[in-house]
A and B are shown apart, each in its own frame.
Chain A
Amino acid sequence: MNFEGTEHLDLSPAEAWARLSDPRALGEALPAVEEVEVGGDGNFEATFRPTTGLGSTPMSVAFEVAERDEPSRLVVTGHGGAAEYAVRLRAAFELTEAGGGTDVRWTLELHLHGVLRSLTQRVIEQLAHQQVAAVLASAAAPANV
């Protein structure tokens, strides 16, 4: 499944890029994140709970900051799964200056496997937009240590 959208962040492109390309910052911006483990080389593993219409499912995903094109382009890939589901994703972010802040144009290629896919099928588009917007907003927010 492919989704795309644009979010505006009240940060300069350089700041926005710095936050999004930092594995820990990005990891901690995930929805209802429970744990983030940063490896080397831009890799990190996160356990988080995206909420669907029917409750929330804990997901453990191994992320990698796959492409860095400072300060305007970033690609993050991820894969993870448990017994009954699996997820693979590729998110690309393009940052451009806009009105004193940054427009982040994002595309998301998402492969969901498992009954989770059928249960979310009517809401997945909305869900994808919500989750990406939440991650971007969270990444842009002042750090909460």
Chain B
Amino acid sequence: MSSQTETTAPKTTTQPWTGQDLPRKEDKRLLAGQGQFVDDVWMHRQGYAHFVRSPYGHARVVSVDVGPALAMPGVYTALTGAEVAEMCDPFFQIAPEPGGKIEEYPLAVDKVRYQGDAVALVLAETRELARDAAERVVVSYEPLDVVVDAVEAADPTSPVLHEEIGHNVAWQGEYSYGDIDWALENADHVVKVDRLHFHRFSSTPLETFGAVVNWDPGTDMIEIRSNNQMPIFGTMMLSPTLRAGADQMSWYSQDIGGGFGIKIASYPQVGALALLSRKAGRPVKWSETRSEHMLSSGHGSERTFLDLEAAVQADGTILGFRVRAFDDAGAYLHYEPLGAVIWAQVLTSCYRFKHVTVDYTETLTNKCPTCPNRGYSRLQHMWMIERLVDTVAQQLDFDPVELRKKNYVQPEDYPYETPNKCVYDSGDLPQELDLALEKLGYEEWRKKQAEVNAADNGKRIGIGIGSTLDSGTNNFGQAQIVNPELPFSGNGEAAIAKLDVYGELAVYLGTTPQGQSHETTTAQVVADILGCDPGMVRVYAGFNKEQSTYVGFSGTYASQFAVTGIGAAIGAAEKLRGEIVALAAFALQCEESEIELANGVASYQGDEERAIPMIGIANLCYSNVAALPDELADRVSLNCRYVYRPPFEPPDPVTKTGSLTLTYANQIHAAVVEIDEETGKVEILDYVAMDDCGSRINPGVVEGQVHGATAHGIGAALHESLDYDEDGNLLQATFWDYHPATALDVPRLKTGHVESPSPFSKNGAKGMGEGGGAPLGTIGSAIQDALGKEVLVNDTHNTAERVYELLEQLRNGGGKRGVEVTSR
């Protein structure tokens, strides 16, 4: 009597489902166009909302007149910043002072601080009318000077965004381990790089932000249908601001069209929509346009590194480095300044450096607020380290492969404690690098490179390597390093495993998947525990605050599902198994240890004649309870909740040390590029991506994530950038100007894997959804290899124009601008 999905192909009873390349359950509805994304949701009596946004990067808001909009037929109501400031308290700030003094509301009140900052919101009968009405709102602005560079913004004379602070430094701190001064004074070589820049880009999920929100006038419940990917965090931000209880907010999502971290940042818009709904007394529907998304959703972190100095020994041992980092948070702190500590999870990236000092400044600029974007805060730091290693190799004539192998954390070092007491769980980086190079055909390509580069026919070939980590399952206690007052620590995820009335198996998670195949991988793992077919395990699609279960950290982000979500599902399924076995033992009059679960049936040691199906088990608990002994009835419910908690202690905010993440997947990429000397255009001739994420629950799913992360990295390296002009205009506000990587831009990807199970997760798996941004280092490294040591690749984004400039530098004598080597 089950309405489950079709059963999957039969297998031998000895082979577990975990580890198999099972095709996905999600595909049935998605390939039929039957998914439910937020714009598919419709509420009776809804109006359509449209935001009025500032064209200025920085301006005083002198007046907002919604009168002309309200005068239009079909317009229901409008909301202004002034009204919002009356009804709300400013958002809770993660930062301590000075950043903690920022006052941000769901709409801009007396100032706009980035192009796209919303000043008003209108509601009308149709999408088109809402758009027309928004155009009629008359806003009077007084333009102010703009600052669009993080290093400039740190200067006290730059235009100030938040008068409450009086300057643009939201947070500043020094991270210091070992003794870099000693190392630099005593090392055989010091390599200095003046400036490196990690550029601003975004994963641009294909589906933009959206929500349908109803603040019910009768019950005062706020129903939020959205595609937010961290709804409990959203609740924690909105509850105090909206002056509503967290229990009043119900969030729902089913299918989400990509998130990549960006969809954590939609809580201000949801807050404004909730207020609009309450004012209008009707549900409010909003779908962000692509331009709005580019302007005002959330951008990836942008970081400038100044005065990088590395201490290197004659034998190639890199002792450590010192650097000043300036992170560009944009106009408001959304999730920042957590990024100011999150990079420390990968303090030394793949390497065994012992002496590290990072002077970190978080600045505010007149740009879209940054938010977690695939690889949040770690990509930036690891790219800088990879450039450092590459530069040391090239400038000091070390072989780039041997130099890396020498400085990598070695297989025998695990579990490896880094200078700031993070623990790298497992891995084999030297082997992974060898495999990457073998797959690439490194030796053959070196020969080809020598031929082509000597031929002087207008082409140059370069070969590059990039090594990164994907640190997964955060210890949220690291927030205390940024702000010791914050009451956050550890991590977790919740799940319910349940047998329903007729014996149907269901699992509910606190996660919000945006393509990560949770329904399939969870079913595989649960099927193994309960001895059934994954087709018989219904994993609830999406997030539902009423029906699912959750903890403060619930959501899907930060490369942790394989550990936390699956960990919770395992715990819940094991609890359920225990209850099923107990009931079966009672029904079959035997010991619990003699019960076997297979093919959806509980039997006495596999005896088909002495067995009870799940429907019978459920019956005993739901409807046929008289026969059950009290002690059994008291402890079974067939509705088992489990919260997975990774083992963490709060870090030390004074020394800034502690275990910050539980698992460390790693990535080693290798690439061959060809540069056209006339145009600077870079073409990828060959690309290998190696990945080690421990035990793989579904290898096909893992490989798909590797492809996707690699495509994002290649897109950013060669095609995608978010730049602001001197007036604070975003120059890539549409897909005309922002070029997301297409099928022609991403080459055929060769992948491979190493499997180093994590000793720290329930199943040996490691989160890996973000990847480490290896393509950025790899392609930069390949371009550098093609150009030689007289010029420096110092930016993550290398368009034809930039490479052409480097070629011109070369043609004009090189000069090694930006790099300095001193040797004893």
Any A–B CB pair closer than 8 Å: yes
Residues on A facing B (Cβ under 8 Å) = 1, 81-86, 88, 111-115, 117-119, 121
The answer on a CB contact under 8 Å between A83 and B139 is yes
The answer on a CB contact under 8 Å between B731 and A113 is no
Neighbour of B725 across the interface among A84, A117, A119, CB < 8 A: A117
The answer on a CB contact under 8 Å between A113 and B736 is no
Contacts of B53 in A (CB 8 A): 84
The answer on a CB contact under 8 Å between A117 and B137 is no
Tell me, in angstroms, the Cα distance from A117 to B134 when the chains sit together: 20
The answer on a CB contact under 8 Å between B733 and A118 is yes
Neighbour of A117 across the interface among B52, B135, B731, B736, CB < 8 A: B731
The answer on a CB contact under 8 Å between A117 and B729 is yes
The answer on a CB contact under 8 Å between A88 and B143 is yes
Contacts of B295 in A (CB 8 A): 115
Tell me, in angstroms, the Cα distance from A88 to B115 when the chains sit together: 16
Bitwise, B736-769 to A at CB < 8 A (1) or not (0) is 1100000000000000000000000000000000
Contacts of A114 in B (CB 8 A): 55, 115, 729
The answer on a CB contact under 8 Å between B737 and A86 is no
Neighbour of A82 across the interface among B135, B141, B291, CB < 8 A: B135
Neighbour of B727 across the interface among A83, A84, A117, A119, CB < 8 A: A117
Contacts of A113 in B (CB 8 A): 55-57, 115, 143, 727-729
* Residues A112 and B727 in contact in the complex (CB < 8 Å), given A83-B135, A83-B137: yes
Interface size for B (C-beta < 8 A) is: 26
What distance in Å separates the Cβ of B111 from its nearest Cβ neighbour in chain A?
15
* Residues A115 and B733 in contact in the complex (CB < 8 Å), given A81-B55, A82-B135, A83-B135: yes
Contacts of B725 in A (CB 8 A): 1, 117
* Residues A118 and B137 in contact in the complex (CB < 8 Å), given A83-B52, A85-B55, A86-B56: no
List, sorted by A's number, 26 A–B pairs whose CB atoms are closer than 8 Å. Answer: A81-B141, A83-B52, A83-B134, A83-B136, A83-B137, A83-B139, A84-B55, A85-B55, A86-B55, A111-B727, A112-B727, A113-B57, A113-B727, A113-B729, A114-B729, A115-B55, A115-B291, A115-B295, A115-B733, A117-B727, A118-B729, A118-B730, A118-B734, A118-B737, A119-B733, A119-B737
Interface residue B732 (Cβ < 8 Å from any Cβ of A): yes
Contacts of B730 in A (CB 8 A): 118
User: Which residues, 39 to 64 on B, are CB-close (under 8 Å) to A?
Assistant: 52-53, 55-57
Tell me, in angstroms, the Cα distance from A114 to B291 when the chains sit together: 10
The answer on a CB contact under 8 Å between A115 and B139 is no
What distance in Å separates the Cβ of A133 from its nearest Cβ neighbour in chain B?
24
Tell me, in angstroms, the Cα distance from A83 to B122 when the chains sit together: 13
Contacts of B733 in A (CB 8 A): 115, 118-119
User: Which residues, 549 to 570 on B, are CB-close (under 8 Å) to A?
Assistant: none
Residues on B facing A (Cβ under 8 Å) = 52-53, 55-57, 115, 134-137, 139, 141, 143, 291, 295, 725, 727-734, 736-737
What distance in Å separates the Cβ of B147 from its nearest Cβ neighbour in chain A?
15
Contacts of A84 in B (CB 8 A): 53, 55, 135
Contacts of A81 in B (CB 8 A): 55, 141
Residue in chain A with minimal CB distance to B53: A84
Residue in chain A with minimal CB distance to B728: A113
The 3 residue pairs across chains A and B that have the minimum distance between CB atoms: A114-B55, A113-B55, A117-B729
What distance in Å separates the Cβ of A78 from its nearest Cβ neighbour in chain B?
14
Tell me, in angstroms, the Cα distance from A82 to B54 when the chains sit together: 10
Neighbour of B729 across the interface among A82, A83, A88, A112, CB < 8 A: A112
Contacts of B736 in A (CB 8 A): 119
- Known contacts A81-B55, A83-B137, A114-B115; 19 further A-B pairs (Cβ under 8 A): A83-B134, A83-B136, A86-B55, A86-B56, A88-B143, A111-B143, A112-B727, A113-B115, A113-B728, A114-B729, A115-B733, A117-B727, A118-B729, A118-B731, A118-B732, A118-B733, A118-B737, A119-B737, A121-B731
Residue in chain B with minimal CB distance to A54: B736
Residue in chain A with minimal CB distance to B289: A115
Contacts of A117 in B (CB 8 A): 725, 727, 729, 731
Contacts of B731 in A (CB 8 A): 117-118, 121
Tell me, in angstroms, the Cα distance from A143 to B254 when the chains sit together: 65
Contacts of B137 in A (CB 8 A): 83
Tell me, in angstroms, the Cα distance from A36 to B141 when the chains sit together: 23
Contacts of B734 in A (CB 8 A): 115, 118-119
Contacts of A85 in B (CB 8 A): 55
Tell me, in angstroms, the Cα distance from A119 to B53 when the chains sit together: 17
Tell me, in angstroms, the Cα distance from A88 to B728 when the chains sit together: 14
What distance in Å separates the Cβ of B745 from its nearest Cβ neighbour in chain A?
20
What distance in Å separates the Cβ of A74 from its nearest Cβ neighbour in chain B?
24
Residue in chain B with minimal CB distance to A81: B55
What distance in Å separates the Cβ of A3 from its nearest Cβ neighbour in chain B?
14
Contacts of B737 in A (CB 8 A): 118-119, 121
Contacts of B729 in A (CB 8 A): 112-114, 117-118
Contacts of B728 in A (CB 8 A): 113
Residue among B135, B141, B729 with max Cβ neighbours from chain A (10 Å):
B729
What distance in Å separates the Cβ of B394 from its nearest Cβ neighbour in chain A?
35
Residue in chain A with minimal CB distance to B295: A115
Tell me, in angstroms, the Cα distance from A129 to B154 when the chains sit together: 37
Tell me, in angstroms, the Cα distance from A88 to B139 when the chains sit together: 16
Tell me, in angstroms, the Cα distance from A113 to B727 when the chains sit together: 7
Tell me, in angstroms, the Cα distance from A34 to B295 when the chains sit together: 31
What distance in Å separates the Cβ of A62 from its nearest Cβ neighbour in chain B?
13
Residue in chain B with minimal CB distance to A111: B727
What distance in Å separates the Cβ of A95 from its nearest Cβ neighbour in chain B?
29
Contacts of B135 in A (CB 8 A): 82-84
Contacts of A115 in B (CB 8 A): 55, 291, 295, 733-734
Tell me, in angstroms, the Cα distance from A114 to B141 when the chains sit together: 13
Contacts of B134 in A (CB 8 A): 83
Tell me, in angstroms, the Cα distance from A112 to B56 when the chains sit together: 9
What distance in Å separates the Cβ of A113 from its nearest Cβ neighbour in chain B?
4
Tell me, in angstroms, the Cα distance from A1 to B272 when the chains sit together: 35
What distance in Å separates the Cβ of B118 from its nearest Cβ neighbour in chain A?
12
What distance in Å separates the Cβ of B488 from its nearest Cβ neighbour in chain A?
38
What distance in Å separates the Cβ of B168 from its nearest Cβ neighbour in chain A?
21
What distance in Å separates the Cβ of A127 from its nearest Cβ neighbour in chain B?
15
What distance in Å separates the Cβ of B54 from its nearest Cβ neighbour in chain A?
8
Tell me, in angstroms, the Cα distance from A117 to B727 when the chains sit together: 10
Tell me, in angstroms, the Cα distance from A114 to B737 when the chains sit together: 14
Contacts of B139 in A (CB 8 A): 83
Residue in chain B with minimal CB distance to A83: B135
Contacts of B55 in A (CB 8 A): 81, 84-86, 113-115
Tell me, in angstroms, the Cα distance from A85 to B115 when the chains sit together: 10
Residue among B53, B55, B727, B729 with max Cβ neighbours from chain A (10 Å):
B55
What distance in Å separates the Cβ of B186 from its nearest Cβ neighbour in chain A?
51
